[in-house]
Amino acid sequence: MIEFEILARGLYRPDQLVIDYDPSLRMPTTPQIRNWMDRVWQERLAFAREHGARLFDGALFRFVDAGVRADGTLCVLAGATGYKEYVATRMPEFAQIHERRELGNALAVCSVIETSDGFILLERRPETSAYAGRYHVIGGFFERDRDMGARPDAFGAMRREIREETGIQTVDIREQYCLGLVYDLALPHAEFCFVTRLRIPLDDVLHQRTPEDDEIVQLHTLPVSGESLRGFVLAQHGNISTTGEANLLLYGGWKFGDGWFEEIMRSLSSLRSSGQGL
């Protein structure tokens, strides 16, 4: 089934993505909700320790609202949340009995990365992360203490995540655009989807660039063509993270046209209707 909602779709330059931040726009809580979050968080900390993973309550931006102006500018209203709030409120037993506005609604960023010789970079999610074992594009959370300039900088957050996870530097990037904003219905949060086109080939990424952290165990690649991307999405549907799949589809629509995008969406909808999974 399709597990995401497209909130905005287009091709946005940095000056066409405006994020207004109001720190007072936090998730509503009660003593009962805070007790729930404390219990879930302690469980996740214990799980992380058991698997030797790092886990901390980072300061994140919270999705509140979004719209596209007549001039094509994507405007997003963001508040404040934390990783603890996101982890606790994405749990099905909480998310399914609360409205979207009552959740942590963390904001994240992800990008299809296209090398100069025509490959897309993918990764497999580690066992301690959400969507463990699924394919994902490069991405991470939009952090308040690291990605704030005069206003929240989603493009800067995306470049930071790319550098940390792959070693690709800003000078390696030929062009970068935001393709839109999606909402993950399965693990409720919003995510900016990007396309990042490199000046360097795949071999340089794999052998000349050193990641700053060890989040990615192994990079996977996919040749850039409408047919290969179509085949991958349909064959691996259910084995791709929700926002990763959305990002690949938005990229394919930009790269190969609306017809490609609409045909894949129809195919995914028919899989959902027939109860099939690939």
Per-residue confidence (pLDDT) for residue 133, from 0 to 100: 84
Per-residue confidence (pLDDT) for residue 53, from 0 to 100: 80
Distance CA 138, CA 123 (A): 7
Q: Convert the pLDDT of each residue in 10-56 to its tens digit.
A: 999 999 999 999 999 999 999 999 999 999 999 999 988 888 888 88
Residues ≥6 apart with Cβ < 8 Å to 262: none
Distance CA 131, CA 121 (A): 18
The structural domains of the chain, ordered by start, are 4-274 (3.90.79.10)
Per-residue confidence (pLDDT) for residue 130, from 0 to 100: 75
Q: Convert the pLDDT of each residue in 53-112 to its tens digit.
A: 888 889 999 999 999 999 999 999 999 999 999 999 999 999 999 999 999 999 999 999
Per-residue confidence (pLDDT) for residue 276, from 0 to 100: 38
> Could you tell me the pTM of the whole model?
0.94
State the Cα angle at 12 between 73 and 131, rounded to 5°: 115
**Left (φ > 0), alpha (ψ -120 to 50) or beta: where does 250 sit?**
alpha
Question: What value does the mean pLDDT take over residues 5-11?
Answer: 97
pLDDT at residue 270 tops 80: yes
pLDDT at residue 155 tops 70: yes
Q: Convert the pLDDT of each residue in 122-151 to its tens digit.
A: 998 766 677 878 999 999 999 999 988 878
Compute CA distances 129 → 54, 133, 146, 205, 275, whole Å.
11, 9, 21, 24, 27
Per-residue confidence (pLDDT) for residue 247, from 0 to 100: 98
Per-residue confidence (pLDDT) for residue 54, from 0 to 100: 81
Q: Convert the pLDDT of each residue in 189-246 to its tens digit.
A: 999 999 999 999 999 999 999 999 877 777 899 999 999 999 999 999 999 999 999 9
